[in-house]
Amino acid sequence: MDSLANGQTKQTDIGKPTNPMVSALLCDMYQFTMAYAYWKADKHLNRAVFDLLHRKNPFRGEYTIFAGLEECIRFAANFHFEQYEIDYLRTIMPSTCEDAFFQYLQSVDCSDVEIYAIPEGSVVFPRVPLIRVEGPVLVAQLLETAFLNLVNYASLVATNAARHRQVAGSEKTLMEFGLRRAQGPDGGMSASKYCYLGGFDATSNVDAGQRFGIPVRGTHSHAFVSSFMGLEEIADRCLQYSSGKRTCNDFVSLTQQWLSKLQAVPSFRGLFSETNQSELAAFISYAISLPTRFQALVDTFDVLRSGIPNFCAVALALSELGYNALGIRLDSGDLAYLSKQTRKFFRTVEKEFAVEGFGQLVITASNDINEETLDALNKQGHEIDAFGIGTHLVTCSTQPALGCVYKLVEINKQPRMKLSQDIEKVTIPCKKEAYRLYGVEGYALVDIMKGEAEPPPKAEERLLCRHPFSESRRAHVVPQRVEKLYKCFWAGNSGVPREPLPSLAEAKARCKEQLEAMRPDHLRSLNPTPYKVSVTAKLYDFIHFLWLSEAPVGELR
Amino acid sequence: MDSLANGQTKQTDIGKPTNPMVSALLCDMYQFTMAYAYWKADKHLNRAVFDLLHRKNPFRGEYTIFAGLEECIRFAANFHFEQYEIDYLRTIMPSTCEDAFFQYLQSVDCSDVEIYAIPEGSVVFPRVPLIRVEGPVLVAQLLETAFLNLVNYASLVATNAARHRQVAGSEKTLMEFGLRRAQGPDGGMSASKYCYLGGFDATSNVDAGQRFGIPVRGTHSHAFVSSFMGLEEIADRCLQYSSGKRTCNDFVSLTQQWLSKLQAVPSFRGLFSETNQSELAAFISYAISLPTRFQALVDTFDVLRSGIPNFCAVALALSELGYNALGIRLDSGDLAYLSKQTRKFFRTVEKEFAVEGFGQLVITASNDINEETLDALNKQGHEIDAFGIGTHLVTCSTQPALGCVYKLVEINKQPRMKLSQDIEKVTIPCKKEAYRLYGVEGYALVDIMKGEAEPPPKAEERLLCRHPFSESRRAHVVPQRVEKLYKCFWAGNSGVPREPLPSLAEAKARCKEQLEAMRPDHLRSLNPTPYKVSVTAKLYDFIHFLWLSEAPVGELR
């Protein structure tokens, strides 16, 4: 990276991309054919402005969490072609391509590029560009696919995580368990990183824990239970007391004694009479190994007749030695019912045996959970404290792609506008600035875009906000506070002061703050209120002037 | 890798994982807590057999393409812990964990592991394990998440690609365009690789082309068209003839002449009267740059009134210089209608101007295409030769996850069986062999599993095939040919002869062959016939003996 920093503001906080898969070939082929055509037409240094934006919020919602920016900036900072990459490009480009082009590619980097963006973790809305890339058209165009790739899934899954958090409520523990269902190792890494950003507390993914400092969680699987035949397998039955001063020489018998006591509790009689011995062996063995972290998966055989009594027996034995068990995990069945029954048992145990805190042991659930399941559980009532969420979270199964696009909006100071018969696909031309206007209650009211040369909106000044395409939709706003949305995150050698890249923890904190600054009706799952995105009167007039002059007669209505 | 090969059969064809993101920490946390518990209970060297299998075919279909095996084998071959990884594990495991465990982890590798699998690219079915891992329970358990991660998405997207190929037909060109919508760079790489395996011809992803030798394709984007203002921008108007012996000094005027000629064709009159000049400039510039690869995106303004006549004018001018244009790409609108109109124009041009082959120029379509769109286009009739498919293909939007599981089926020669009230979730115990039986017409009839000790099925010998769980479903089969499904792909230091890893091209060829050996009714989209998976009579009896002995009374019905 430093070799690229010819004269530019020193960017010491930007290292390599976190993903070593990332190379400058992370491109669609057409970017190279276009690069050649730009170069051949001597247009390659034309100064272009590209907007990266989304046109629609995902999951039938009315907001999106912006994520992936840090990776984009690292990509830009390290952007250059290795010799082997250029050698490869020669083989896929037509033999008519001039050698000087490939020599030119060797010198291409992002030192003449500036990147402005909304900070990572922000709540964002369709049409307001998330990233603005300014630079020579050839290199700015080459960034297209990598930026889309790095932003699309990151923002999608962060939004999905935020939505799960909204439904689950702030007091629940949410854990991402999706590594095995993600699109390969890096898909899993992105999922863990951006679910954490969007509001999750932890991940099962150890590698993501190591790379990003995300807390990791996990207990054991059904296979662990199945690997035991019976109690006779437990060779070493000793367990030291928590105090470290004494040792229990037969933790197996101690547990069996507690199981008998449980079976004698009047309200449990009959229910707890026949627990699975291989499951009990597995629980005991796990507890002897990890007495400070005892959490059991209780549904290998039968949750209420075997898993829960076996767990309680081991937890009570641990308690006698001074250890607090963590709780249980449910991975199948009727989670609402099972969690309520389990809580009832835990409370009875607490009362019967006077073990403080037993009634509040953590109940974790983890079977095919999604936003709808969380909502249904809330409606039914449940006693689950923590959720492990995998498949639906990381694959974003209700909408597995976010459709960010990368559009040319200006070249050599000339505004460019992509017309379309589909109004959603029309892009807003020019290099723009964007602001968020806040009202008296501290909530965000509206986002507004303006042309570069216009003065910025000011707090407590009346401002006309217009829908970009609809003549009749307009409103006057007097903001209490005005937030400028774009900051410079990559300055190249322009000398523009540059923001440091926020840490993952900072982006996560920003996401939380920004969600708190949204009116709750914009965030709700069912029929959320659309948040308004507007343009200034001047930009409105300019868009429509350009539209009329660009559109062939009769083509657009 | 070589440093791990302490005495084992030399495996020179297995290098590093293709994805450098892959480390031994690619694990869910519970694998480490279990590893510690196995070690602490002195069970860690117990010889375990794990089956990796899926329970349901994706996309409401009746088949799955197995992919991801090569990556699993590379993962196993390179499996070991680096010091920094062990240091990290110490920080996330409880402080009560013994130091000797972490020392032991330093010695863990796959030299005592054997991996048997169905070859990559095979057509596979639920319940028949795709991979069988045999080894010490600690290390075999540690492979779980990585193997699931590497197989789940690979197999899902390969199956999706195969289904798209089935619907599109063998003569169409299918290109994967999904990089920007995949789960990060590696998600995109996996998508490109496994779509190629499943039957696609090419990708837009240049990096995947470089890494895997997949043909890459691409033209230009709307931004390229938008970057031009008009013909005056084209500074260098010269273009050499294809022969290399002459130069046309004003290719712009030549194109304009052809545009006038087109406008004069009686059947085009009126239609072709007002084409967009910036679009024309972009097309001419592209053609001057890449005359042997001229393919134009024709929908920036209006396909039939601007894009097609502009393309035809440039293509005719190129033709005069001895170059054959490739064709056009449609990225919006009614693809069936537009392709048919375009074909009509192309044929008229061929006839009017006697340009041989013009009627057959390639029409590519690329807007939000999926299996259903392809089917609908077939029903409507269309003239599209090539499809660029992105979002729906790579995100597998109709079912974004395959639910492979990794189940313990034997430990220390003791069969293990995961019971469940959901019959689909019951696993078939024991170390098994599996065979595919073929009938007289060469089609696959049924897959059959047997216990390790039973004799293998033989061609032309009558064999009873039983449904694994349903008493009444059974059939006698006399196979013409018997195929043993498992081969050893990783032998550790066992000395078992090992299959070399097939190349991507070989796996792709296998996929094609295997699909051709399936009866077409198993492959069709609508109401496909389920393919039968069976067990031998002896295995059936054993499963049910075990089931009765393991299940608590009254628990299972």
For residue A38, give how far its alpha carbon lies from the nearest alpha carbon of chain B (Å). 8
- C-alpha to C-alpha distance for A423 and A410, rounded to whole angstroms: 20
* Nearest Cα residue in chain B from A399: B397
Whether A5 and chain B come into contact, CB under 8 Å, resolves to: no
Which residues lie closer than 8 Å to A376 by C-beta, 6 or more apart?
none
Residues 340-369 of A with CB under 8 A from B: none
Beta carbon pairs, A and B, within 8 Å: 379
Would residue B232 count as lying in a domain?
Answer: yes
Q: Which of A353, A384, A415 is the last residue of a domain?
A: A384
Minimal CA separation from B481 to chain A, in Å: 36
Please check whether residues A15 and A126 belong to one and the same domain.
yes
Range of the domain at B487: 2-161+399-550
Structural domains in chain B (count)? 2
CB contact under 8 A, B33 and A220: yes
Shared domain for A23 and A154, answered yes or no, is yes
> Do the domain assignments include residue A542?
yes
User: Are the CB atoms for A363 and A345 separated by under 8 Å?
Assistant: no
Examine the fold and report which residue of B331, B360, B384 is the final residue of a domain before the chain moves on. B384
Say yes or no for a CB contact (<8 Å) between B227 and A43.
yes
The residues, any chain, with a CB within 8 Å of residue A423's CB and separated by 6 or more, are A469
Chain B within 8 Å of A528 (Cβ-Cβ)? no
The residue among B156, B190, B237, B289 with the most chain A CBs within 10 A of its CB, best to mutate, is B289
Please indicate whether, in this complex, the C-beta atoms of B21 and A22 are within 8 angstroms of each other: no
State the Cα–Cα distance between residues B496 and B498, nearest whole angstrom.
Answer: 6
Beta strand ranges found along B351-415 (DSSP E): 362-365, 386-389, 405-411, 414-415
Q: What is the CATH number of the domain that holds A306?
A: 3.20.20
Give A406's contacts in chain B (Cβ within 8 Å). Answer: 223
Restricting to B residues 456-515, those with a Cβ less than 8 Å away from any Cβ of A are none
Contact A447, A439 (CB under 8 A): no
Contact present, B418 and A226 (Cβ < 8 Å): yes
Q: Nearest CB to B286: which of A37, A401, A402?
A: A37
pLDDT per position in chain A (557 positions), as tens? 333 333 333 344 576 766 666 789 999 999 999 999 999 999 999 999 999 999 999 999 999 999 999 999 999 999 999 999 999 999 999 999 999 999 999 999 999 999 999 999 999 999 999 999 999 999 999 999 999 999 999 999 999 999 999 999 999 999 999 999 988 888 899 999 999 999 999 999 999 999 999 999 998 999 999 999 999 999 899 999 999 999 999 999 999 999 999 999 998 877 777 899 999 999 999 999 999 999 999 999 899 999 999 999 999 999 999 999 999 999 999 999 999 999 999 999 999 999 999 999 999 999 889 999 999 999 999 999 999 999 999 999 999 999 999 999 999 999 998 777 677 788 899 999 999 999 999 999 999 999 999 999 999 999 999 999 988 999 999 999 999 999 999 999 999 999 999 999 999 999 999 999 999 999 999 899 999 999 999 999 999 998 887 654 433 32
Q: Give, to the nearest 10 degrees, the angle between helix B251-264 and helix B308-320.
A: 120
Nearest CB among A180, A219, A555 relative to B302 is that of A555
The CA radius of gyration of chain B, in Å to the nearest whole number, is 29
Residue B412 DSSP SS3: coil
CB contact residues (below 8 A), chain B span 20-59, against chain A: 20-23, 25-34, 36-38, 40-43, 46, 48, 50
Whether residues A416 and A350 fall in one domain: no
Is some CB atom of chain A closer than 8 A to the CB atom of B250?
A: no
Buried b (16+ CB within 10 A) or exposed e, B229-252: eebebbeebebbebeeeeebeebb
ipTM exceeding the 0.85 mark: yes
CATH number of the domain that residue B534 is part of: 3.20.140.10
Asked if B401's CB is within 8 angstroms of A216's CB, the reply is no
Give the tens place of pLDDT for each residue, B315-334: 999 999 999 999 999 999 99
Three-class HEC string of A392-428: HHHHCCCCCCCCCEEEEEEECCEECCCCCCCHHHCCC
Cβ within 8 Å of B, A 399-438:
400-404, 406-408, 411, 414, 416-420, 422
Q: Looking at the domain assignment, is residue A248 inside a domain? A: yes
Q: Is residue A444 part of a domain?
A: yes
Q: Which of B359, B384, B409 is the last residue of a domain?
A: B384
A146–B420 C-beta distance less than 8 A: no
> Does any domain span residue B380?
yes
Contact B187 A189 (CB under 8 A): no
Secondary structure letter of residue A2 according to DSSP: G
Rg, chain A, Cα only: 29
A43 interaction partners in chain B (CB closer than 8 Å):
227, 233, 285
Tokens of A432: 């723009």
- Among left, alpha and beta (phi > 0; psi -120 to 50; other), residue A349 is alpha
Residue of chain B with shortest Cα separation from A18: B21
Crossing angle (nearest 10°) for helices A335-353 and A308-320: 30
Q: Is the CA virtual torsion B39, B42, B46, B49 positive or negative?
A: negative
CA distance B337 to B351: 21
Whether residues A78 and A106 fall in one domain: yes
SS3 content of chain A, % helix, strand, coil (to 5): 40, 15, 45
Handedness of CA A370, A374, A379, A385 (dihedral sign): positive
